[in-house]
Copies of this chain bind each other. A is one copy, B any other.
Amino acid sequence: MKPYSQMTAEELKQEEEALMISYRACQAKELTLNMARGKPSGAQLDLADELLYAVTPRSGYHSESGQDCRNYGAAYGIPEAQRTLAKIMDCDPKHVIVYGNSSLNLMFCIINHAFTHGINGNTPWSKLKQVKFLCPVPGYDRHFKVTEHFGIKMINIPMDENGPDMDMVEEYVNNDPSVKGMWCVPKFSNPEGICYSDEVIRRMAALNRAADDFRIYYDNAYAVHYLYDDDRPKILNLVDAANEAGHPDIYFEFCSTSKITYAGAGISGMTASENNLTEVRAMIDVSTIGYDKVNMLRNARYLKEGDAIPDVMKKHAEIIRPKFELVLELLDKEIAPLELGSWIRPKGGYFVSFHALNGCAKEIVRLAKEAGVVLTPAGAPFPYGKDPDDSVIRIAPTLPPMNELQTAMDIFVICVKLASVRKFMENA
């Protein structure tokens, strides 16, 4: 079959009619399939079953620091858990705060704290006329929801295969003191699967800030989440780069074991300079008597303080790699020849980001929904839910079993074709 762009009006009409027959057949099946969220599958969660036996009366409940993990105390975490997260972030365990089950919640709380108290002695953001964040796009919808919640003005920063457009980032950060932050998922970015290049990370670390309290909110959510054993990209260590640039305070780095052990019952945490950590600890001291240390001990023991992570992630990859391959093969076979979109082949992370023809994303998501396939809403990977090109659709292949994913992708492909052929018909 030739690309739609080369078809005559009559050919387009015939194609549309043929697609509608397939589409109606899908609808008739009354399916309920979901490729919306980056959730691990049951089989992946089963991998961590040992977690549930990692802390028992027999194995003991004390951390090496002598802390009874069942009791109150140790508000910044236990040493074993600090080392576990330090392995993920490749940093000094002494500079790790271990938190509850949600790194997103930690980011939310730090931004909340910046509004009420300011960061490191700077004016609380609630006293400022405007606060802005740089948002590399497409990006993680829940990051953008947090900044939107606080009325922070979000500025789109285009991404290419090396990461965010650093010329634009420098322009803003160097000159505009109301720019207080930048969201980043530096490795296997959500949703593109991009790894920031060394140069991008070096330039981020070296940013000359107009605002002393500008911070990079560096969400290293997929730090160890490789799809291929023999192709494990490494990114430059931001902690080292920031220290080398003489900007030790320029970042807060976050991670979690959510997609290593249990998505909803892992542990999360952060690393930062001593100066930044002092600020966060002051907030923690007032806001809790401590996070769940039994679960810290569980995660640390099961992951052998991080040493078991490569093996664990290999097992995850064995489960999810075929799902990514199914998605990519179908796109290669059905969409590529028709020239109806583009996508990046991720080497890790949780998503395939499909770039439809401009103006087609919302329609594809709508068509899919009406055929029983829930996708992440079009626009979600952009601030305010607004994709300027109405093009990006985030495909999350990990949750459904293979047979359901196959069905869902078959429907997705039909929807892409149908929305696209109609676009050509309109313009014909």
Contacts and interface: CB of A to CB of B under 8 A. Distances in A.
A194 interface: no
A424 interface: no
A82 interface: no
Contact of A70 (B116, B127, B264): B264
A116 B150 contact: yes
B73 A149 contact: no
Interface in A98-132: 100-102, 104-105, 108-109, 112, 115-117, 124, 126-127
Contacts of A150: 116
A245 interface: no
A104 B287 contact: yes
Interface in A16-58: 37, 39-40, 42, 45-46, 48-49, 52-53, 55-57
A292 B42 CA distance: 17
Contacts of A149: 117, 286
Count copies of this chain in the complex: 2
Interface in A246-280: 258, 262-265
On chain A, which size bracket covers the interface?
A: 35 or more
A289 interface: yes
Counting chain B CB atoms within 10 Å of each CB, the highest count among A40, A117, A287, A291 belongs to A287
Given A108-B286, A112-B112, A142-B289, 18 more contacts: A39-B72, A40-B71, A46-B57, A48-B70, A52-B56, A52-B57, A69-B265, A70-B262, A70-B264, A100-B292, A104-B288, A104-B289, A109-B287, A112-B116, A115-B115, A115-B116, A264-B290, A264-B293
